Structure 1
Amino acid sequence: MSTFKELLDEQSISQTWIAKKLGFSPATINKIVKYGDYPKKNAAQLKQQIIELLVTKGFNQDQILTAMDAVQLNSENDQASDVERTATPTDQKEQLMLLRKQTLTPAAKKQFMLFKNIFTEDIRNAAELYNNSDINYVRESMWQAAKGNTSFIAVVGQSGSGKTTLREELHDRIERENEPVIIIEPYVLATEDSDTKGKTLKSLHIAEAILSALAPSTNAKRSPEARFRQIHNLLKESSRAGQHHLLIIEEAHSLPIPTLKHLKRFIELKNGFTPLMSIILIGQDELKIKLAENNPEVREVVQRCEIVTLEPFTQTALVEYLQHRCNTAGRNLSDFIDESGIDAICAKLTRNVGRNNQSESLLYPLAVGNLITGALNVAAELGEKVVTGDLVKEV
């Protein structure tokens, strides 16, 4: 805590009170109190106004100046340290910065009457799932694969874009609609794309997952040839019983190239003309790179695999998403954030990069949830009723 803030707290003087008296935003006063960061215009005049206001509340002028100078000195030292740490060349400036996991403070929970964080909590049922045209396209693509109408898709999206949520919704939908689908999910807890980093997921492991899903009490044949024949026969028997089979591989960006190539052979397993299996790969943008058209190693896979991308929110979709999260909790979005706050979130998580000014956006559920949580904490600290654009910039 800064010396200046400690001084104000001793006399129970709030930053919000100072802001209202001087006609400035609480965020501006917070920057001055915490970091000695004054607006470029009329900084000396504002500093004098703060001093005069605090003198009327019984503060000693020398005491105020000492506290202000200490804050400014600490801030300058911190900036110097930052310059030293970033002296080596780096490309971090070219990337949008993401927040760590944010947790609501007790003060924020109390002020906004939130007993759970509606902006970051996992959804509990299908009604809580936000749907727009982009998300619905991905969702329906996964559903068609589950029903066997599509054989091979790759769902690609940034971290926190909602891929896992859609996979969970697919599980739930299959159960709700009693669709005759057997889901096969190999465990990928320690998989990497090379054995030097972790353990690679191989075709034999996928075969073991199929055997475990279809006939858990059956022992696998020892030789690979016999084992794959055993798997094919089990799939045929299950298909004759009216079942379709869906192989879902999470973290598919960690799949080695040989395994990606072998997946073609799994989707070619048939009983006559009837396909026995569909495949959904779920991964981050690196998966799209591995499945690029100019990669000759996976050309057979590329020609058969449809890539479906989870796009970031537009500003309109962002507002709809946040309203939906609030509505599912019986609240209004205006209880938490105003229009300037929404604009600031879009600005903070979007920017143009490169020579062609291509838009780079991280307006995904997880990033948005963390940012708005941090802003709610700042609002509670300053005693603000809702999050504004100035408060979002403070996070």
Structure 2
Amino acid sequence: MSALKQLLKDHKVNQNTLSKPMGVSVSAVNLFVNHGQKPKKNPDQFQSKFIELLEEKGIASDQIQQALTTAQTHTNNDQALDSECAADSSEDEQLMLLRKQTLTPAAKKHFKLFKNIFDEPIRSAAELFNNSDINYVRESMWQAAKGNSSFIALVGQSGAGKSTLRRELIDRIEREREPVIVIEPYVLASEDNDIKGKTLKSSHITESILAALAPSTPAKRSPEARARQIHNLLKESSRAGYRHLLIVEEAQSLSIPTLKHFKRFLELENGFTPLISIILIGQDELKIKLSENNPEIREVVQRCEIVTLEPFTQNSLVDYLQHRCKAADRKLSDFIDESGLDAICTKLTRNVGRKNQHESLLYPLAVGNLITGAMNVAAELGAPVITADLVMEV
């Protein structure tokens, strides 16, 4: 328990009663009492008012100052420890996350390949690797496309295969001739604030809907008229038998106001029939933005299902690599032995944070890069296949 919290408890002062006279939220007071974090706006004024209120409640000034000093010391120690952990984590990432690796001509000749089968982009649905985790994600996206679910967020690390699954979904819609109109706003310069880039606003999304449904129709000038125009177009399209799917890539770069506006798109209905489904695709930062602890977007969180694209396990890693080899009529044993497979799992798995939480980077992009680098080393040394030592050399 923090020194400030203990002080308030000893004098029977409720934290919630301090927020209103201080003109701040209850959470701001809680953060200061429990973790010593002041608001970024007027922090000195905040602390002065806090001290003044405690003195009015009969707490001695020296007791308050002692508690504040103790709390600040603990905060500084925690920040220093966090910085050390962040530095260690950064070093680990530099060791494990490789730059783009290209298979050398010598390696192609050594392993009798004309292309890198472990790093080639997928060109058809038949080449897509499936397991229970991936199939769950695919089916969640498919149900959203068919209108059976309204709002999902697909979350995964860089290189996990999110964009591949998006392409497979669009390809599946065309293959199975589903009456689904896919709407994809461009996110080329999208960032969550206008300092780093340009925020994707709800007005841009309405423009994308208009371009998908009626590309030759000019948009109304006023926001209210444009929203009514979009709603009517969606109704007409729904009556004609079409469903509508909004897909937003790089959704971790969406601003909080735009995330809040997605609830209003979900509320575009024709009677009991929803007119649009939404799939957000983004990295782990998106899950943080959609946290249930964020009261600012609680209405969105309550309606959005988060679907996580999990990393490979050791067994599914072998299945994935065998699948890639099968596409080239080769065997996995032609390229790597069991010790090499174990070494890949070791190199792309680590413990992070104070609690040594398990984190796996066994995703297609990282695995492909690592194997490519190991094949280059094997060719250089004349080794017949990749072994554990060669993997650790990359």
TM over 0.5: yes
Compute the displacement of 1:249 (Å): 0.1
SS in 1 for 2:278: strand
CA distances 1:145-174 after superposition (whole Å, capped 9, x unpaired): 000000000000000000000000001100
Find the aligned partners of 2:199 and 2:385 in 1 and give their Cα distance: 48
* 1:347 counterpart residue number: 346
Compute the displacement of 1:355 (Å): 3.8
Find the aligned partners of 1:314 and 1:297 in 2 and give their Cα distance: 36
- Residue type at the aligned position of 2:116: N
- Residue type at the aligned position of 2:202: S
Find the aligned partners of 2:380 and 2:189 in 1 and give their Cα distance: 41
Compute the displacement of 1:97 (Å): 2.7
* 2:142 counterpart residue number: 143
Find the aligned partners of 1:94 and 1:343 in 2 and give their Cα distance: 19
CA distances 1:103-147 after superposition (whole Å, capped 9, x unpaired): 001100111111111111110111100000011111100000000
Q: TM-score, normalised by structure 2?
A: 0.77
Find the aligned partners of 2:330 and 2:277 in 1 and give their Cα distance: 41
Q: Verify: 1:265 aligned to 2:268, yes or no.
A: no
Compute the displacement of 1:351 (Å): 1.6
CA RMSD of aligned residues (A): 1.2
* 2:234 counterpart residue number: 235
Q: TM-score, normalised by structure 1?
A: 0.77
Compute the displacement of 1:325 (Å): 0.5
Taking the TM superposition and a 5 Å limit, the aligned residue runs for 1:219-234 are 219-234=218-233
Compute the displacement of 1:98 (Å): 0.3
- Residue type at the aligned position of 2:284: D
CA distances 1:31-51 after superposition (whole Å, capped 9, x unpaired): xxxxxxxxxxxxxxxxxxxxx
* 2:364 counterpart residue number: 365
Q: Verify: 1:126 aligned to 2:131, yes or no.
A: no
SS in 2 for 1:232: helix
SS in 2 for 1:90: helix
* 2:87 counterpart residue number: 90
Find the aligned partners of 1:255 and 1:118 in 2 and give their Cα distance: 35
SS in 2 for 1:253: helix
- Residue type at the aligned position of 1:180: P
Find the aligned partners of 2:91 and 2:229 in 1 and give their Cα distance: 54
- Residue type at the aligned position of 1:93: E
Find the aligned partners of 2:275 and 2:340 in 1 and give their Cα distance: 50
- Residue type at the aligned position of 2:175: R
CA distances 1:225-279 after superposition (whole Å, capped 9, x unpaired): 0000000000000000000000000000000000000000001111110010000
Compute the displacement of 1:94 (Å): 5.0
* 1:325 counterpart residue number: 324
* 1:159 counterpart residue number: 158
- Residue type at the aligned position of 1:360: E
- 5+ residue gaps, structure 1: 1-86
